[in-house]
Amino acid sequence: MALKAIGWAAVMLFGFVSVAATAAELPKEGTFATTTYFHDSYDAVESTPKLYMWDYDDYGIVTNDSGSSFMHNMIIHCKGAGENTNSAGGTHNVDHCVLVDSDGDRIETATENTQSRANEPRKGEATFVFGSGKYTGISGKFEYTVQFLPRFTKELPSRGNLLFISHEKVSYKISGAAP
C-alpha cells in the first residue's frame, strides 16, 4: 500500500511540474537564464590509488529564471561518467541529457564539465544536439556552474546520492519547422 502511495505521489509530482514549456509561439532564437535542481545517483570505484572513476544518473527539474517561457518546468534526465584528473580533487565529467516538456517534445544535450581542484566551482558547457516537435532544428549551448548542497557525511561512499543546483546561461536558435 505504501509503495502504491509513493507511485501516485511521483505521478502527481511529475505531472504537476511538467505543465510548462508550452508557448503559443516559441521564439526562434534567444538568450535567457535557467536554474536546474538535480538528484544524482552515482557508483564510483578506485581506479588507481586515491583516484576514482564513476558513472551517474541525474534527474531534475529545469526552471526558467523569468518564471515562464522556454525550458520552464521541463524535466531532465542525464546519464554520464567521470574521473579524477589529479590528486587535488580535479574532476572531468561527460554526459548526455534529455529534457521533456508537457507536450512530450524533447531536447537532447551533450555536456562536459571540469574542475582543477576540489574547492573550485564546477563549471561546464552543454550543446544542444537534437530537438523534436517545437524544438526541431535547435542549436546553441549553455554554460553552467554547479552548486552542491550539503551532505550528511563528509566522506563520499562508493555508491550514493548527491543533490545539486545548476545555474545556466542559455543561448539557442531554432531553424527547423515543427512536424
Fold of 2-174: AOC barrel-like (2.40.350)
Reported confidence tier of residue 97, pLDDT bands at 50, 70, 90: very high
Hey, where are the domains in the chain?
2-174
The pLDDT score that the predictor gives to residue 118 is 79
What pLDDT, in 10s, does the model give residues 41-85? Answer: 999 999 998 899 999 999 999 999 999 999 999 999 999 999 998
What pLDDT, in 10s, does the model give residues 107-137? Answer: 999 999 988 787 788 899 999 999 999 999 9
**Cα(145)–Cα(122) distance, integer angstroms:** 6
The pLDDT score that the predictor gives to residue 177 is 57
- The mean per-residue pLDDT over the stretch 131-153 comes to 91
| CA dist 131 → 78, 136, 157, 170 (Å) | 16, 4, 36, 15
The pLDDT score that the predictor gives to residue 178 is 52
